[in-house]
Structure 1
């Protein structure tokens, strides 16, 4: 930043917008959003966050929803280059953290190849936000000594994951983009050694006023998802820490 009110021209900031609640933005993220000339933002950027932008800032929606992409990734990459070459200060705003299933690395590779200067501002990733706001401590000395974030997004009808490594006791697994593959995920986790009674949950719109948590087990979760009608964006959390929800939940229904 060159002064308190302006940003360097011809530069891109890759900024994590956090899991939805605007108050979970970092101070740096909020400051950059308020001063940028142009903002390229995603579907998962929480309500109210774009209100921080200058009234005259250019706002470009580049959201991706399940099976519905407003703008192909290659076009987004080139857009960032083009905006910077116009001499604009550009904030590329992504839900959660830009380097955790956010394709931030792909966008930066394009910027590097085009000689565009950039900075990265981390954000609270969805797993951390959903865990905290649902009463699931992702690690806990009595329940989970490790946690894994993994994509559950289907490609060509398969979920090609290292199931033996995921289906371990004393371990929490968070599946991003996994709702459409929930039945396969639960089946594979059981087939590779976890009991069907292992606690599992889905959290939709985590940290936001309309957060919805659906509890179950590996054996019942697919039915619970169908029964509740829950839709993306949502995370699946598997592990005994989910069983702490009743004791530790503080947000849902109380916000």
Structure 2
């Protein structure tokens, strides 16, 4: 016997059938963390959102293998920024993702690392909210976590460094040289993102706060990617090492300042977070 569609069978039974659901008039935007590079470091939720996306706007640091996880028919739009060459300024990206969502499309804004850590996610979330577009944030593995895994060690260690600071070495037009080291001190590990071009200034600031110039620095380059490498330097030789090794790509600078290091002849202002009593309590 030939099967009839469900709504016809229901009508014959004397029950009024409900019309099929109408497609949503607007789509939605999902800011997805692509992780540090390796595609198997994406979360399951990130993969699910990629496979449902109609259009994907992706950054310069997103690996091609990550994009291969998306639906084959999904539109892919490169919106990467290069230093000194912002073909895609942020306001243009905001307009594009909102425009596509207003067409009823499922939009994924794919960002390297975690979109909520130095990823300018707030501006895109605000743009979506102003347009009345539903927006979701999917976290990703941030670069410093992958750097710790590459080095095979914890980013925090009891009695050595029990505070982890994430700081950016670069800024914006209104704040081109942020005070990146203001939270660094005994008992901290500071991870500097986007700090390669500012290594000399960062080193100078840390030495000025009392970190010995022979303190070790880890330079984690292209973490989790095929070309990843680990270099070591001291605070005093950091800028020269970066120049000698021609490091220009994505790198995280890791500086661990152990609790046991004595800070001599350093006068900390109160706003730096170190009160005189705390300074005196440091072990000799």
TM-score range, shorter chain: 0.7 to 0.9
**Which residue does 1:4 correspond to in 2?**
none
Q: Deviations over 1:162-199 (max 9, x none)?
A: 64432x11210011111000011011100111111211
The separation in 1 between residues aligned to 2:239 and 2:98, in whole angstroms, is: 42
User: Shift in Å at residue 158 of structure 1?
Assistant: 5.2
SS in 2 for 1:239: strand
Q: Structure 2 length normalisation: TM-score?
A: 0.78
User: Shift in Å at residue 207 of structure 1?
Assistant: 0.9
SS in 2 for 1:49: helix
Asked if the contact 2:217/2:254 (under 8 Å) is kept, the reply is yes
Asked if the contact 1:214/1:225 (under 8 Å) is kept, the reply is no
Q: Among 204, 215, 239, which residue is 2:256 paired with? A: 239
**Which residue does 2:48 correspond to in 1?**
31
Q: Which structure 1 residue ranges, 5 or more long, are not aligned?
A: 1-6, 242-255
Asked if the contact 1:152/1:176 (under 8 Å) is kept, the reply is yes
Asked if the contact 2:26/2:133 (under 8 Å) is kept, the reply is no
Q: Which structure 2 residue ranges, 5 or more long, are not aligned?
A: 1-23, 259-284
The separation in 1 between residues aligned to 2:176 and 2:54, in whole angstroms, is: 41
Q: Does 1:60 align with 2:77?
A: yes
**Which residue does 1:103 correspond to in 2?**
120
1:1-255 map, 5 Å: 10-155=27-172, 159-161=177-179, 163-166=181-184, 168-239=185-256
Question: What is the Cα-based RMSD across aligned positions, in Å?
Answer: 1.9
Asked if the contact 1:22/1:48 (under 8 Å) is kept, the reply is yes
Q: Would the alpha carbon gap of residues 211 and 12 (structure 1) be closer, same or farther in structure 2, given more than 3 Å must change?
A: same
Q: Deviations over 1:41-100 (max 9, x none)?
A: 001112300011122111010112222223000000111110001111111100000010
- Whose radius of gyration is greater, 1 or 2? 2
SS in 1 for 2:225: coil
The separation in 2 between residues aligned to 1:220 and 1:136, in whole angstroms, is: 23
Q: Would the alpha carbon gap of residues 99 and 8 (structure 1) be closer, same or farther in structure 2, given more than 3 Å must change?
A: farther
The separation in 2 between residues aligned to 1:8 and 1:150, in whole angstroms, is: 41
The separation in 1 between residues aligned to 2:187 and 2:44, in whole angstroms, is: 35
Q: Would the alpha carbon gap of residues 93 and 195 (structure 1) be closer, same or farther in structure 2, given more than 3 Å must change?
A: same
Query: Which shows bigger deviation, 51-60 or 232-241?
Result: 232-241
Q: Would the alpha carbon gap of residues 155 and 39 (structure 1) be closer, same or farther in structure 2, given more than 3 Å must change?
A: closer
User: Shift in Å at residue 152 of structure 1?
Assistant: 0.2
SS in 2 for 1:87: coil
Q: Structure 1 length normalisation: TM-score?
A: 0.86
